[in-house]
Amino acid sequence: VWRYHRGVELLGELARSGELGTVNGVRTTRTNWTSPRADVDSIWTLVPHDLTIGIEVLGEIPPPKAALAEVIDGRAVSLWAHLGGGGEPWLVVEASTRSAERRREVRVHGSLATATLIDDGSNTVVIAAGSELEPRLRSISFDPDPPLRRELAAWLEFIAGGDPPKSDGAEGLEVVRRIAELRTLAGLDSISS
């Protein structure tokens, strides 16, 4: 659903436009307190969103390089992940159900500026540019049309003979494979998910 969030789409447009300079990477933060899910751990419920944001902004999910998990009572409740880098754009993910503060932030780091979607309920992206002590700030507003509504509309249009939606089964499989790789890097192979 995050690929249909207008703020995430705007971040992708800014990344591709060159306005931010060369894109160094994307940082996502997705935290809240606990999860009602009992069938899978927090990595499976939170991290897919961050990886699909990587696809929307960077055009791909970078290869996983490192991951660290927090495990409580045999369940993974947090994951910090580093994907890409080494001269290619990176994706850094913080996903946790161990934070009293609910946060959903996406920040694109470019050589000239950063662009930040501060919260999933926000209808602005903030660009911070320059190398002075105080950044030059600019806000870009966007239509806050709910992303789930937009995703469902895209599927209905496709079923009626229109263009295919942004995501397909191959993309879903790639997300699952990357999460499995991150779980291995974090030492979660022996932990049930």
Domain count, the chain: 1
| pLDDT 10s digits, 145-193 | 999 999 999 999 999 999 999 999 999 999 999 999 999 999 998 666 6
Helices then strands, each counted (H, E), the chain: 4, 8
Residue 39 is predicted with a pLDDT of: 87
Question: Is 100 part of a structural domain of the chain?
Answer: yes
Inside any domain, residue 91: yes
54 versus 193: the higher-pLDDT residue is 54
The answer to whether residue 63 scores a pLDDT higher than 80 is yes
Please determine, for residue 65, whether its predicted confidence score (pLDDT) is greater than 80: yes
Residue 69 lies in a domain: yes
Q: Is residue 191 part of a domain?
A: no
Which helix (H) or strand (E) covers residue 152, if one does?
helix 147-159
Q: Is residue 55 part of a domain?
A: yes
Read off the pLDDT of each residue in 124-132 and give the average, rounded to a whole number.
95
Q: Considering the entire predicted model, what is its pTM? A: 0.94
Which are the contacts of 154, defined by CB distance < 8 A and separation ≥ 6? 4, 165, 166
Q: Is the pLDDT of residue 36 over 90?
A: no
Q: Can you give the residue range of the structural domain that contains 180?
A: 2-185
Q: Which neighbouring-strand residues pair with 110? A: 23
pLDDT at 193: 64
Q: Is 94 a domain residue?
A: yes
In a domain, 193, yes or no: no
Domain membership of residue 190 (yes or no) is: no
Average model confidence (pLDDT) across the chain: 96
Q: What is the CATH number of the domain that holds 86?
A: 3.30.360.10
